[in-house]
Structure 1
Amino acid sequence: MEKVTATGVLNHLSLMEAQTRSSKDHRQQQQQSRVEELKAKVEELKRHRDQLKKEVEVYESVRTLRASMDSKSVHEEDERMDGDSENAEILWLMAKHCQVTDLLHAHRLIGGFEIIQTKQGKGLCVSVATSYEGVYLDRYSLEFDTKPTFRITRHNIPPFIPLNKLTEQSNMTETELKAFLHILSQHLNAYAGRKQQLQLVKEHHQSVEVMESNALCSLLVLLFTVPKKRTPVLCTMEYLDHIRCLPTRVYCQSEDTELPECPQWKSNCLLLMENPVHKALSTMKTMGHIV
């Protein structure tokens, strides 16, 4: 009986030793696999680092070359190109592309129009860009037939922009197209500005609740909360001049009927009329007038 027991114990110990050895080998394999995986990751990161270094070098070279282009004449640039290597020529082309892109962007920001002839001279395609505070926003397009009569055939102007009324007011013809595009651009940029202000209010002033707004962004109703007493104030902003980004009328309502008539809130209404709404709200928060 003792022999059987001893044999059983030895077998059990042998089994445990084998399991331990197997587990150790498995851990070693896992560690080795992990080491190889980490080495591969390190090599990948090194390659990525080297690639980023090259991209930074190219960017710095293009930026330096781009800055020097404004102070050099075309003749000087041509002379410089004659003696440069192929890589330098590629950098010069990249810098030139950046320069043209910057000029095109500036052209759009100051209200420039892109006009392309279509239908073998019988049509025009016009692109009107919008921007607000230096940020390039949406672009709208119109297609015109020039023959037999000058008319708009297709466009993606929002339906609440009075396009037909504007064409009548500007007496739109091919020779007077610029005047029509100018007034249309005023309407589109004002709308884009009001829309962008509303978006900025939602992003940066979450304590201010937008109760109502319309598609043209010509009506905006905001709910403020006055600190301490937590008094709610309903502020209505009307934009009756559709070629401006600022409201033409601002008035406030509250359960505390004396509050809208106090000098502080009259000053707030004036602030909202004279400044973009998101900036006015920042000032009101800084002054402690709203939460």
Structure 2
Amino acid sequence: METAKGVLSHLSALEAQARSLRVRPRQRSRVEELRARVKALTAQRDRLKAEISVHKDIEKRKMRLKNQCAEEEEMETEDGENEQLLQLMARQMQLKELLYAHHIIGGYDITKTCRGKSVCVTLSTAYEGAYLDTYNLELDTRPTLRISRHNVPPFIPLGDLCERADLQDDLRGFLDTLSTHLNAFVGRRQQLRLVKELHPSVTVMESNMLCSILVLMLSTTRQKTTLLCTLNYTDHTRCLPTGVCFECEDEKLPQSPEWKNNRKLLMETPLHKALGAMKNMVLIC
């Protein structure tokens, strides 16, 4: 019995020793894991401190940009290379803020006038990648927002657009609508100019200031006759016509499949390009 007890106690001791050997590696592993975590958090803290320091320097330089004289005086005492880098970073942040503000107001240029009592909004127009006319609105901000002066063409329904839009609560919506009308107008006018430049054989018989109606005389090649083409732009927010009508001595010609296709072409393609396609098909001179 004593021998059995001795064997059992020896086995128990060995089992306890094995358990302790298994626990120690786990403890060491946990300690190493915690040490690595502390090291990572310390590095993160140092990085955040450095970023905060740089951000404070950039903010100081942004303030200096508002006062060029003060900026130049302080720059003389700064380290050259670091100062230039921080100055560029400050300028970059300032430009990003300006671009964001520009995006918020819809991309329109707005400047203060009359000591802050009014603002001037600039609307640029373009067609096919070419910048064309620029229009300006001066808006009084007190006591309520209203248009005091502008150079918008009189045939643009500015009064109607103001009535439809709520200037007090949706200035951007009003500017977007007005910009659409202006860009459509200059687009139609630009197409007319390109027709005169690129297609001298096409005679412009009639047009109005808004370029909302246009009458052209076309010379056909196969029938050897002339044909009047009337384009109506009843939707003043678009550069394409809403209606195309052909008139000819040969009443059957406008109803032919060829000229029905030409009508569709003129309603879906800018005028100068549609006429060029018709010339390439040898339909007009």
TM-score, with normalisation over the residues of structure 2?
Answer: 0.63
Corresponding residue of 2:242:
248
1:190 to 178, 184, 201: 184
> How far did residue 124 of structure 1 move?
0.7
SS at match of 2:236: coil
Q: Is 1:167 matched with 2:162?
A: yes
Mapped to 2, the partners of 1:229 and 1:82 lie a distance apart of 77
Corresponding residue of 1:220:
214
> How far did residue 272 of structure 1 move?
0.2
Contact 2:222–2:283 under 8 Å retained in 1: no
1:127 to 103, 122, 127: 122
Q: Is 1:141 matched with 2:133?
A: no
Mapped to 2, the partners of 1:222 and 1:237 lie a distance apart of 8
SS at match of 1:284: helix
> How far did residue 116 of structure 1 move?
0.7
> How far did residue 82 of structure 1 move?
3.8
Contact 1:126–1:141 under 8 Å retained in 2: yes
SS at match of 2:181: helix
Q: Which has the larger Rg?
A: 2
Contact 1:260–1:266 under 8 Å retained in 2: yes
2:276 to 261, 282, 288: 282
SS at match of 2:219: strand
Corresponding residue of 2:204:
210
* Equivalent position amino acid for 2:276 in 1: S
| Structure 1 gaps, min length 5 | 1-74, 76-80, 84-92
Mapped to 2, the partners of 1:268 and 1:136 lie a distance apart of 30
Q: Deviations over 1:10-43 (max 9, x none)?
A: xxxxxxxxxxxxxxxxxxxxxxxxxxxxxxxxxx
Mapped to 1, the partners of 2:212 and 2:132 lie a distance apart of 18
Superposed, 1:97-136 pairs within 5 Å as: 112-136=107-131
Count of residue correspondences: 193
2:227 to 224, 228, 233: 233
* Equivalent position amino acid for 2:274 in 1: A
Contact 1:112–1:128 under 8 Å retained in 2: no
> How far did residue 216 of structure 1 move?
0.3
Mapped to 1, the partners of 2:107 and 2:208 lie a distance apart of 28
Corresponding residue of 1:4:
none
* Equivalent position amino acid for 1:120 in 2: R
Moved over 2 A (4+): none
Mapped to 2, the partners of 1:164 and 1:208 lie a distance apart of 36
